[in-house]
Amino acid sequence: MVFAQLAADPIHVWNFLVIIGFLASTGASLAAILGQRRTQRREVSILDNFVTMQFCERQHGRLSSESDANRVEKRQDIINLREEKRQDSGLLHTKIESVALSVAEINGQLGLINQRLTQVDFKLDRSIERGIKKSLP
């Protein structure tokens, strides 16, 4: 009877549905968590041969000799890479120097061209002034 007296306001219906959804998802999560609490059987295998000191020493010697060989190989690789880098940087520096010389030469030529253009401009201005003076009575 109480629910029949309430007006179906959309916000109240929405809030009710959200609460029901939240409670349902919480219940499902709890059921999943509690359902997975099973004990796992663990197997233990017993072997007749145990690890001996001699086995450990052999393994240590083998691993250390492999690591020494790897270190020497890596060190040689580093030396080779450094030499390649030196050669590449030297080649790059020679190319940069040749470009710098070309730019300097072009810069000098541009300076001479600008001087020559300034002289031509000055001569043109003088000849225009002389032409104006001659045309005036």
pLDDT tens digits for range 87-114: 999 999 999 999 999 999 999 999 999 9
In a domain, 51, yes or no: no
Structural domain including 108 reads 8-35+56-135
- Please report the sign of the dihedral spanned by the C-alpha atoms of residue 96, residue 100, residue 101, residue 102: positive
Domain count, the chain: 1
This prediction's pTM: 0.38
Classify residue 1: in a domain, yes or no.
no
Separation of CA 66 from chain center: 34
Whether 44 is in a domain gets the answer: no
Q: Distance of CA 15 to CAs 3, 7, 25, 36, Å?
A: 15, 14, 15, 32
For the stretch 29-58, pLDDT in tens is: 888 887 776 666 667 666 666 778 888 888
